[in-house]
């Protein structure tokens, strides 16, 4: 008989690896799910939380009876609250206003104090989650700020536990591991361990459309984020521990695609997972489809369904946000472009002269246009950028337009729902429509207004 665990924390890890039999059955790939949502707190973050708290206690940064403080979308918070409950610490979690009530209730059930911060602010805004967490930690006696985005203990924890488990469970027969990217700790730890065993194992990151990592990986530029509903993955800043050179690809998924996949995982495979898990599987399917062949792919499922009952698993919420496929909603960007007309997209090259770009904008009666570096989207130049440049006193009409290019734009695909586009335009002002890496359209607020006006008759 196996000896009983001394505490629930000894049950962290050793999660099952399960074959997906229905989802992705049309692909040649073998798709497996690593069920991290079955960890004690319902999150893959249990491994990291234990390691971070142990290291802080050993170093003296966290004293007996002290207070653990962290900014979290729920999963890391639940793991830290679990550890705090077992080890006798206090816990304060700063969460974004977009998370569901179930996650807040779960944190409070562990005894954590929950502070809600706005999500639609810049990372350095004093109201942002991380700013509020820093302020609370500095003003609370005997407090320790976890700061998962900077701590090297996080990647080390996954390299020491999750990586070896996967290698053993697959017998080393693994072609790719697909993982959501938030802090980057899981991806970095898995990359460190798996590539040391076999350098050709692909580490694929997944994020919501609107996050910044895919563009950063492709071009090295940090673009302006736009709104998305997914919780737990994606970011509007670059975590210190994230090295995208260790990731082979970053796949973006739409909110609706992630949420519908989440529901399919529960109803078709019996896996009670949350939105981040649905996003990871949707990303794994997209990567396997693009790669072709018969790869053996493992998707890391980091969160459980109980945190999303009032959102993803509520038909009314899904319908209200245009995420149910059987609900027409307001349509998609593809329909908007059709209504707008199939005119070719006017672009500029990075080396084009400012004089020529001004003439192009005037000739076509547009307010902004995409700027390309070869076949890659570099950014957007607008009337405002050109005006600011021309009145600066340092302008040269003969100079290249590249220095004027702004990253304050968002991307969409032809399948993006109009409800999602509306939120995107409210934040970014303009959306570049990309299909299979090619710019196929540009959508502004007036385009959306015109589409909705014509649609309503």
Q: What angle do CA 365, 369, 372 make, to 5 degrees?
A: 145
The tokens for 242 are 């994230």
Residues facing residue 442 across a β-bridge:
432
Which strands, in side-by-side order, build the sheet including 67-71?
113-117, 90-96, 67-71, 143-145
Q: How far, in Å, CA of 423 to CA of 428, rounded?
A: 9
Q: How far, in Å, CA of 96 to CA of 356, rounded?
A: 44
Q: Which residues are catalytic?
A: 45
Label residue 186 exposed, middle or buried (CB < 10 Å: 0-12, 13-18, 19+). Answer: buried
Rg over alpha carbons for the chain, rounded to the nearest Å, is 23
> For residue 227, which of 447, 419, 436 has the smallest C-alpha distance?
419
Q: How far, in Å, CA of 122 to CA of 266, rounded?
A: 35
The tokens for 455 are 């649609």
Q: How far, in Å, CA of 220 to CA of 239, rounded?
A: 14
Q: How far, in Å, CA of 402 to CA of 351, rounded?
A: 6
């Amino acid at each position: 008989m196996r000896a009983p665990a001394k505490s629930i924390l000894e049950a962290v890890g050793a999660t099952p690896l399960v074959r997906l039999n229905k989802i992705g059955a049309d692909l040649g790939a073998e798709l497996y799910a690593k069920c991290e949502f079955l960890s004690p707190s319902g999150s893959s973050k249990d491994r990291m939380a234990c390691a971070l708290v142990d290291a802080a206690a050993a170093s003296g940064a966290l004293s007996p009876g002290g207070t653990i403080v962290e900014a979290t979308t729920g999963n890391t918070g639940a793991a830290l609250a679990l550890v705090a409950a077992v080890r006798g610490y206090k816990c304060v979690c700063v969460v974004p206003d977009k998370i569901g009530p179930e996650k807040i209730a779960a944190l409070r059930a562990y005894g954590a104090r929950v502070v809600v911060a706005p999500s639609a602010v810049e990372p350095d805004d004093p109201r942002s989650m991380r700013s509020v967490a820093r302020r609370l930690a500095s003003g609370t006696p005997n407090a320790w700020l976890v700061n998962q985005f900077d701590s090297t203990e996080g990647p080390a924890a996954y390299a020491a536990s999750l990586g070896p488990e996967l290698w053993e469970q697959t017998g080393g027969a693994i072609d790719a591991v697909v993982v959501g990217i938030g802090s980057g700790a899981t991806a970095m730890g898995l990359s460190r361990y798996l590539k040391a065993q076999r350098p050709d194992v692909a580490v694929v990151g997944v994020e919501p459309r609107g996050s910044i990592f895919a563009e950063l990986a492709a071009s090295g530029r940090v673009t302006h984020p736009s709104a998305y509903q997914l919780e737990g993955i994606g970011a509007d800043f670059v975590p210190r521990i994230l090295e995208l050179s260790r990731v082979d690809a970053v796949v973006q998924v739409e909110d609706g695609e992630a949420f519908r996949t989440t529901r399919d995982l529960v109803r078709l495979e019996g896996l009670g997972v949350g939105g981040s898990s649905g996003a990871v599987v949707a990303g794994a399917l997209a990567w396997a489809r693009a790669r072709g062949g018969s790869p053996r792919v493992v998707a890391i499922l980091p969160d459980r369904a109980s945190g999303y009952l009032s959102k993803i698993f509520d038909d009314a919420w899904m319908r209200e946000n245009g995420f149910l496929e059987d609900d027409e909603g307001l349509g998609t960007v593809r329909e908007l472009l059709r209504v707008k007309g199939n005119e070719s997209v006017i672009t500029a090259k990075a080396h084009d002269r400012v004089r020529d770009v001004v003439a192009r904008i005037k000739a076509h009666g547009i307010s902004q246009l995409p700027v390309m570096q070869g076949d890659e989207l570099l950014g957007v130049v607008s009337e405002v950028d050109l005006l600011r440049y021309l009145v600066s006193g340092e302008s040269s009409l003969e100079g290249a337009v590249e220095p004027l290019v702004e990253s304050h734009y968002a991307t969409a695909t032809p399948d993006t729902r109009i409800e999602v586009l509306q939120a995107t335009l409210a934040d970014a002002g303009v959306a570049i429509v990309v299909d299979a890496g090619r710019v196929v359209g540009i959508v502004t607020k007036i385009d959306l207004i015109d589409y909705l006006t014509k649609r309503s008759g």
